[in-house]
């Protein structure tokens, strides 16, 4: 396998929980994706309308199996297989409301970090400090906590946190899904829009909490050819997921006292 990430970058990811790759997408590729996002906005499609995005916006759909990203994630997974979890996309202008501190690691309940999950944040027009700065708390992926344990801190700086507010167009950030992060609202300015998409991937070896419609999403992805002529069909393997809504309901009924005593 071609070494797309250096050992130093891999070590940095394992320590800090993120990697910044400036200008990953070429400008023409970024423009095609942005055109799809503009069509989404015009059609009233919401960022989390996953099925609509996969069915009707192919430039976005093909991001799920972008070869260079898959190769880099393979390195971070130490060569093990993994599956695509979800994607969403949005273009944000003045008045974007932001998102307080949280993490995105899928687990019910949150008890360990035995297997790797990563998110790919894609900034097709970069960041310039006007809309949606990214806040990160490096190393926090090693702490096990509820997804919104620090939600009440809003968008405040935390001890050791960093702010990413300047990125070249087409940049991506690879995140350990358990790293704490936030999106700070900014007043905007000029004509800048924050064209953003993310995809996420779960390491094989355990069952992961899946979105309710994941079987349909994976079927559509395969029908639309997002597996790139079967090269990446393994990314869309529904058998790697359980129904999160059902398991959550069952867990709420059993979540009394020490769960360890119920194993």
Residue 2 lies in a domain: no
pLDDT at position 226: 98
Residue 189: the pLDDT is 65
Q: Which residue has the tokens 């093990």?
A: 80
23-49 CB burial, b ≥16 within 10 A, e <16: ebbeeebbbbbbebbeebeeeebebeb
Residue 174: inside a domain = yes
| Domain span holding position 247 | 7-262
pLDDT tens column, 127-174: 999 888 999 999 999 999 999 999 999 999 999 999 999 999 999 999
CB-facing half-sphere around the CA of 155: CA atoms within 13 A: 12
Residue 12 lies in a domain: yes
Q: Identify whether 142 is part of a domain.
A: yes
What is the domain count for the chain? 1
Query: Quick one: pLDDT at residue 190?
Result: 67
Distance CA 71, CA 133 (A): 27
Is residue 1 included in any domain, yes or no? no
Q: How far apart are the first and last CA of the chain?
A: 41
Query: Cα–Cα distance between 58 and 225 in angstroms, integer?
Result: 9
CA atoms of 149 and 147, how far apart (whole Å): 6
Instruction: Please indicate, yes or no, if residue 97 is contained in any of the structural domains.
Output: yes
Q: Render pLDDT for 168-189 as a digit per residue (tens, 0 to 9).
A: 999 999 999 999 999 999 876 6
What pLDDT shows up at residue 236?
A: 98
Q: Which residue has the tokens 């800048």?
A: 192
User: What is the predicted pLDDT for the residue at 85?
Assistant: 97
In-domain check, residue 238: yes
Q: What is the pLDDT of residue 158?
A: 98
CATH number for position 27: 2.60.120.620
pTM: 0.96
Residue 181 lies in a domain: yes
pLDDT lower than 70: segments of the chain:
1-3, 188-190
């Amino acid at each position: 396998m071609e070494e797309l990430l250096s050992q130093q970058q891999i070590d940095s990811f394992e320590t800090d929980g993120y990697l910044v790759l400036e200008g990953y997408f070429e400008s023409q590729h970024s423009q095609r994706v942005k055109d799809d996002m503009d069509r989404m906005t015009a059609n009233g499609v919401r960022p989390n309308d996953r099925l609509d995005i996969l069915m009707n916006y192919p430039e976005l759909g093909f991001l799920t199996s972008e070869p260079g990203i898959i190769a880099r994630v393979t390195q971070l997974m130490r060569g093990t297989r993994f599956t695509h979890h979800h994607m969403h996309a949005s273009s944000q202008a003045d008045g974007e409301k932001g998102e307080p501190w949280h993490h995105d690691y899928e687990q019910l309940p949150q008890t360990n970090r035995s297997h790797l999950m990563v998110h790919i944040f894609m900034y097709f027009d970069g960041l310039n400090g006007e809309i949606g700065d990214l806040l990160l708390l490096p190393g926090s992926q090693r702490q096990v906590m509820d997804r919104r344990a620090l939600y009440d801190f809003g968008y405040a700086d935390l001890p050791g946190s960093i702010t990413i507010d300047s990125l070249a167009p087409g940049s991506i950030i690879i995140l350990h899904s358990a790293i704490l992060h936030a999106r700070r609202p900014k007043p905007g300015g000029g004509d800048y829009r924050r064209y953003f998409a993310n995809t996420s991937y779960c390491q094989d070896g355990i069952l992961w909490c899946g979105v309710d419609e994941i079987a349909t999403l994976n079927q559509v992805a395969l029908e639309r050819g997002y597996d790139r002529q079967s090269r990446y069909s393994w990314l869309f393997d529904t058998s790697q997921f359980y129904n999160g809504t059902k398991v959550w309901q069952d867990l709420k009924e059993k979540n009394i006292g020490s769960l360890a005593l119920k194993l």
